[in-house]
Structure 1
Amino acid sequence: MSKSTYELEREANIARNKALLEQLDMKQALTDLSLPKSKVIEKPKPTAKPVQPAKKVKERVKEKIEPPRRQSTRLQKSVVDPNETPAKKRKREAELEEQRAKEAEERLVAEEQERHAKRPRHYDLELSLLVEDEDDLKTLPDLTGSLQQISITAQPKAVADTDAFVFSDHKKETAEVKELREKLQGLKVVSRAKVTQNRVYSAAYHPDKTKDLIFFGDKHGQLGIWDARAAPEEAADEDGDVAPTEDGEGGKYWRLQVHWPATSKSSISSIKFNPIDAHSVYTTSYDCTVRAFDFTSGVSREVYSTGEGILPSSMDLPPTGLEVWISDSLGGLTHLDIRESSSKARRYELSHTKVGCVSVNPTRTHYLVTSSNSRVLQIWDTRKLSNIPVNLLEITPATAPGAGTDVPGIPFEEASGASMAEFLETPDGKASVVAEWTHDKSVSSAYWDPRGRSVVSTSYDDSLRIWEFSTNRLDSNSTFPSSRPFSQIQHNCQTGKWLTILRAQWTPNADVYPHFTIGNMNHSVDIYSCKGDLITKLSDSTKITAVQAVTCSHPNIVERVATGNGSGRCVLWAPPEADQ
């Protein structure tokens, strides 16, 4: 078929352009064109300087166990001797078969070791095993000394009187709020540091008055211990230069890999100190374990294992420190008496969805408040729960705590959802739920204040709600009458996927007018009174450019607030003179 005029002209143009390109000196042509240089757009300077680690963190190179690679059997065959006798052939084939069996066994062993390395650790862990960075091993004596120093004196958790800060005169109430505002509104950022390597999930402030010792749990099971006002060690870089202290980190910190594996499967969901003496710290993790780290011995031991797939979401201990209440992702609530074997633990299936928070009333420990994704906040009378019929679960790979791990399962008693539903229809069952309030969306947290008188809840319906109960109502054995919350505050709680859920946390200080802290999506820390009055908003745009999602307060010093964000950076808010 003859080509059209258009196709002939197109081929001619291609040939002509090709010839021109071959003759053209492209470099010289570009020079002759004298094209203007592209303008460099200067990036705006950040309003806040990010905290940079004072020392370079050298991650320990973890040995990866690689199983032997599979090889083709055909390629492994040696050259066959044409004169090979039948006896030699049988011998050669037997040697090849033995070699293949040996390689298969080595591969299975390597695969099992790799699986074992990813399982939660159920054995006791010495302090040296909790530190992964080689440089941090050198500072362990400092950490040991600090922990033993604060363990000399018992520092029990303070509990306020139920009628503390209850006034009939409104002027006295106003005076207390004014005094509290004067103390807190002047707090400034006095120390910053990247305490954990990943997103901060939980935090707790140690009650010692001589130090600002704050514990942060992160997304990958790491427990960061921050002595926020300690004199930092000046570390030189590779050239021998010392980093300026104004841009460096404040205080000293240590990172302990308490929960394993070091992935999002081990996020530390809550941290609590032993309420008797504060000489040990309890942590719950998504590796399905509850561990206690003792300051005097330097050993982390497992207190309880919920079982595979049952993720502990929160825990609380009454002031006696003898019991632990644990909420979980499958709608359960577990009671454990630490004086007894963990096999005596009882699990109650309260909801068909996640129970995200549990809090024990500090003055009347038989009252618990729970919050769940079913949009319900409930107050339980645990004295009635003992009447629920329970079943002793058998030790099977599917049901027992420790399933799928290197330790045998532990039997435990459970009140199933069917048992609970049946029980709640009985008179005792109806009396066990003394109060219940439905929110518009899931309830992410609910906590009793130090007096055991007020409850604050946080919900995805962008509201903070406060309930207040009288002494007579708390002492009655009947259910609480249905009532609206005492105060309801609009607050953006839409954290999304990459931020830790916002939780309103009461200050544990029993000697001060009750108030709570909560992170704000606009990078501030909001502080409210127990009546819903805004005390102050802590912010600093020159130093803070991220949401301070996790908050906590000092149990004994009013003018102390600590916060953590999604990258592991933590902040201490205190009076300016505290930095001197």
Structure 2
Amino acid sequence: MISREQQTRLRVGEDPADPPRTPESRTKSASAENDWDSDSSDNMPEISDFEKERLANIAERDALLKQLSLDSKSAGLFATPPKPPGSGGSKPKKRPAPKRVKKEEEDTTPRRTSSRLKGIAAESEVAKRKADDELDALREAERAKRIRRTDSFTQADMFVAGQKLTGADLIGVDVITKGVAKPYERTFDSADIEKTTDKDLKAIRKEMNGMKLWDAWDPQRIKITPERVYAMAFHPSESKPLIFAGDKMGHLGMLDASQEKPTVNEDDEDEDDPDPVLTTLKPHTRTISSMIVNPSKPTHLYTASYDSSIRELDLEKMTSSEKYAPESTNIDEAVSAVDMVADDPNTLYWTTLNGEFGRYDMRMPLKESNVSSWQLSEKKIGGFTLCPSQPHFVATASLDRFLRLWDLRKLSFDNPVPVAEHENRLSVSHAAFNAAGQIATSSYDDTIKIYDVGAKGLSSWKEKHTLQDGDFTPDTVVRHNCQTGRWVTILRPQWQQNPQSPIQRFCIGNMNRFVDIYSSSGDQLAQLGGDGITAVPAVAVFHRSKNWVAGGTASGKLCLWQ
């Protein structure tokens, strides 16, 4: 056993085997240590004046801090520190974690008013009925804003802004690339024209590139519609460019581009620079998706809308009337496109976002029994056209990725079978027929495809004629960026119906803020641009016979090349 004396010596670092130290030995040891310190201090070098001053400053600072600590304690500024756990004091309580509150989506429904302030007993049947009635009334008011108008109305009823026009003022008397787009970067210019070896192709390229941007006003000042342009059309008149544009809210804008800019006296600072004269009407309550001037009656403009109706605007009387719509206003059949035949001024053809194709003779009463309809696609049909030379043939482009060709002469209502179909990698946006029997399509797979069914004997096909899958493939594929995104209208090709040369050509918007013109063989003829174009002219249309091209942007602005 180790004695208490030895345990004590172990704690202080002494050897327990050493003899016990007496008071005399401890005194002698301390004296020896003091002698060693004095000897060592004598051997140490002398402290410099700078070091002495530094040590004095440290001592003075320590004394000051000690004095401040004593003063603070006496004033009660420092609380007694809590006892550590296990020292007999109570353990500090853990603060509860804040409750997580699920962030709910913002509710756009109007708040109900206080029943207590109105003097209605809480939870009473009267309060519940009153709140439900108020909510239903608000919802009905919102729905009423979007429901179509079935009645006929005049220019005064539709007029929104601009100049009120008469028929004579409006139409006159002569009416008979793949990849990310880099803004303003051209992919076709004069150098490409000079490299052209084909004489005919070189001539048409020079002709197309000779078109200039209408510079009477900056394009930023030609706001033809209040909202994004969805559809455009030229009037067939060759005496002046008369342009119609429809936007996403149902507005119809009209511009006579033959007007000249008034002269402004530069010395008169108070005189404003006037904007171009425009007329804005509102015949529809929702997006105007398509429009066409009656090829047999150029005084009538037909507009199709997502409000499920097709309306006729009389350009002489400036009145609008509904020509087709479902029997009930509660039926939602958004119309995606409309077309007519040149030698039949009374029949309307249209497609819907539900995948239906319809036909109606306007001379008959508007009843369900007088309307012919076929379910041609399970998904929406984004665009279609009739073949101008063989109008019983119809080309449809749909969201299910198919281009289909139909023959209306013997088309079953129960089980319609196409003459031919071709599946694309992604959805097809539009299918445009020209007089030569060629179909141009735009697709989300960033291609423009051209199908030459005229060369396959379209005019000689009999009823129920069909093509094998391998016989209906594109003859030409052009790489073209079609990634419009959410805020730019879908790019759609549009042919010039009566070109003044043997070369067929069509135009389509370019995401680099140009309008491209291609031939039926896929050769690029021109790339139209100009100063002041700051947005994509996504909706591009050709005049029927003149070399005039118009483009509409997402901000409702117009670009015109002549």
* TM-score, normalised with respect to structure 1: 0.65
* Equivalence for 1:27: none
Q: Using CA pairs below 8 Å that are at least 6 residues apart, which structure has the higher relative contact order?
A: 1
Of 386, 390, 393, which residue of structure 2 is paired with 1:364? 390
Quote how far apart the aligned CAs of 1:288 are: 1.1
* Equivalence for 1:410: none
How do 1:162-201 and structure 2 match up within 5 A? 174-191=198-215, 192=219, 193-201=222-230
Deviations 1:53-72 (A, max 9, x none): xxxxxxxxxxxxxx999564
Of 253, 256, 260, which residue of structure 1 is paired with 2:278? 253
* Equivalence for 1:480: 467
SS at match of 2:445: coil
Quote how far apart the aligned CAs of 1:561 are: 0.9
- Structure 1 residue 218 corresponds to structure 2 residue 242: no
Residues 108/332 of structure 1: CA separation in 2 closer, same or farther (3 Å cut)? closer
Quote how far apart the aligned CAs of 1:233 are: 6.0
Deviations 1:45-88 (A, max 9, x none): xxxxxxxxxxxxxxxxxxxxxx99956466559xxxxxxxxxxx
* TM-score, normalised with respect to structure 2: 0.67
Residues 554/115 of structure 1: CA separation in 2 closer, same or farther (3 Å cut)? closer
Aligned equivalents of 1:114 and 1:464: distance in 2? Answer: 40
- Structure 1 residue 308 corresponds to structure 2 residue 331: yes
Which AA in structure 2 matches 1:461?
D
Which AA in structure 2 matches 1:494?
Q
* Equivalence for 2:300: 280
Aligned equivalents of 1:345 and 1:492: distance in 2? Answer: 38
Aligned equivalents of 1:294 and 1:454: distance in 2? Answer: 32
Aligned equivalents of 1:273 and 1:174: distance in 2? Answer: 36
Aligned equivalents of 2:557 and 2:450: distance in 1? Answer: 30
More displaced 10-residue stretch of structure 1: 433-442 or 104-113: 104-113
How do 1:87-486 and structure 2 match up within 5 A? 115-133=143-161, 136=162, 139-140=163-164, 142-147=165-170, 149-150=171-172, 152-155=173-176, 174-191=198-215, 192=219, 193-232=222-261, 241-244=270-273, 249=275, 251-260=276-285, 266-306=286-326, 308-319=331-342, 320-343=344-367, 344-385=370-411, 388=412, 415=413, 419-420=414-415, 424=416, 429=417, 433-449=418-434, 451-468=435-452, 469-470=454-455, 472-477=457-462, 478-481=465-468, 482-486=471-475
Quote how far apart the aligned CAs of 1:452 are: 4.0
Quote how far apart the aligned CAs of 1:331 are: 1.0
Q: Which runs of 4+ in 1 moved over 4 A?
A: 67-71, 73-77, 101-115, 232-236
Deviations 1:325-355 (A, max 9, x none): 1111111111111222222112211111111
Quote how far apart the aligned CAs of 1:110 are: 8.4
* Equivalence for 2:78: none
**Does the Cα contact within 8 Å between 1:325 and 1:336 map onto a contact in 2?**
yes
**Does the Cα contact within 8 Å between 2:166 and 2:318 map onto a contact in 1?**
no
More displaced 10-residue stretch of structure 1: 478-487 or 362-371: 478-487
Deviations 1:262-321 (A, max 9, x none): xxxx11110100110211111111111111101122211111114633211111111122
Aligned equivalents of 1:116 and 1:549: distance in 2? Answer: 31
Aligned equivalents of 1:103 and 1:552: distance in 2? Answer: 51
Which AA in structure 1 matches 2:322?
E
Residues 240/280 of structure 1: CA separation in 2 closer, same or farther (3 Å cut)? farther
* Equivalence for 2:555: 567
Residues 107/226 of structure 1: CA separation in 2 closer, same or farther (3 Å cut)? same
Quote how far apart the aligned CAs of 1:480 are: 3.4
**Does the Cα contact within 8 Å between 2:430 and 2:442 map onto a contact in 1?**
yes
Quote how far apart the aligned CAs of 1:511 are: 3.1
Quote how far apart the aligned CAs of 1:231 are: 2.5
Which AA in structure 1 matches 2:441?
S
Q: Which runs of 5+ in 2 are unaligned?
A: 1-64, 73-109, 121-125, 177-196
Which AA in structure 2 matches 1:470?
A
Deviations 1:210-249 (A, max 9, x none): 211100111111111011231346899xx983344xxx64
Residues 354/118 of structure 1: CA separation in 2 closer, same or farther (3 Å cut)? closer
The number of residues matched between the two structures is 417
Residues 511/189 of structure 1: CA separation in 2 closer, same or farther (3 Å cut)? closer
SS at match of 1:194: coil
Quote how far apart the aligned CAs of 1:538 are: 1.1
How do 1:532-543 and structure 2 match up within 5 A? 532-540=522-530, 542-543=531-532
* Equivalence for 2:536: 547
Quote how far apart the aligned CAs of 1:364 are: 0.8
Quote how far apart the aligned CAs of 1:111 are: 7.5
Aligned equivalents of 1:489 and 1:110: distance in 2? Answer: 50
Aligned equivalents of 1:153 and 1:366: distance in 2? Answer: 31
Aligned equivalents of 1:259 and 1:376: distance in 2? Answer: 30
* Equivalence for 1:524: 514
Aligned equivalents of 1:102 and 1:502: distance in 2? Answer: 49
* Equivalence for 1:405: none
Quote how far apart the aligned CAs of 1:374 are: 0.8
**Does the Cα contact within 8 Å between 1:154 and 1:276 map onto a contact in 2?**
no
How do 1:49-68 and structure 2 match up within 5 A? none
SS at match of 1:501: coil
Residues 508/241 of structure 1: CA separation in 2 closer, same or farther (3 Å cut)? farther
Aligned equivalents of 1:361 and 1:196: distance in 2? Answer: 30
Aligned equivalents of 2:356 and 2:139: distance in 1? Answer: 34
**Does the Cα contact within 8 Å between 1:177 and 1:529 map onto a contact in 2?**
no
Aligned equivalents of 2:257 and 2:321: distance in 1? Answer: 26
What RMSD in Å do the two structures reach over aligned CA positions?
3.5
Residues 243/353 of structure 1: CA separation in 2 closer, same or farther (3 Å cut)? same
Which AA in structure 1 matches 2:234?
Y
**Does the Cα contact within 8 Å between 2:229 and 2:555 map onto a contact in 1?**
yes
Which AA in structure 1 matches 2:248?
K
Residues 102/382 of structure 1: CA separation in 2 closer, same or farther (3 Å cut)? closer
Aligned equivalents of 2:148 and 2:424: distance in 1? Answer: 36
